[in-house]
């Protein structure tokens, strides 16, 4: 049985939940060297579970505060603007995702 899509939340409620989960994730994983373990953290997984409605918030967080949001963005969107020539180069990966977000209308200048 397939899981039903997440219910859309009012924007301010979504932002508060995202900020709470993001803060928890950063606090508990920022010192980990294993990005796979960080991506499996329950708060990160809950953010992924929020679906497409959270993509603008993830992109804003990545733009303003950094963080390895690449797995979440790929999982939520099914896309990956990071080409093999820049894979592993965090700054360029971040730039590719932010350009993608602007192009798709998720992120304003």
The domain in which residue 18 lies consists of 12-79
- φ, ψ at 81 (rounded to 5°): -75, 0
The verdict on residue 35 lying in a domain is yes
**Cα 95 from Cα 23, distance rounded (Å):** 22
Q: Is residue 101 situated within a structural domain?
A: no
d(C-alpha 13, C-alpha 39), whole Å: 23
User: What are the tens digits of pLDDT across the range 11-40?
Assistant: 999 999 999 999 999 999 887 777 778 899
Q: Residue 67: its pLDDT value, please? A: 87
CA distances from 105 to 18, 23, 32, 55 (A): 20, 25, 32, 10
**pTM here?**
0.88
pLDDT tens track for 56-108: 999 999 999 988 999 999 999 999 999 999 978 999 999 999 999 999 999 98
Q: Is residue 16 one of the residues assigned to a domain?
A: yes
Domain membership flag for residue 95: no
Judge whether 26 lies within some domain: yes
Residue at 89 is within a domain: no
Residue 39 lies in a domain: yes
Number of domains within the chain: 1
């Amino acid at each position: 049985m397939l899981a039903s899509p997440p219910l859309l939340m009012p924007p301010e409620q979504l932002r508060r939940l995202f900020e709470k989960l993001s803060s928890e994730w950063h606090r508990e994983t920022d010192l980990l060297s294993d990005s796979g373990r960080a991506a499996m953290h329950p708060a990160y997984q809950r953010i992924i579970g929020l679906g497409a409605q959270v993509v603008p918030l993830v992109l804003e967080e990545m733009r303003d505060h950094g963080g390895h949001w690449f797995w979440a963005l790929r999982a939520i969107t099914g896309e990956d603007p990071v080409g093999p020539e820049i894979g592993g180069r965090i700054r360029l990966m971040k730039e590719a995702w932010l350009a993608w977000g602007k192009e798709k209308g998720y992120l304003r200048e």
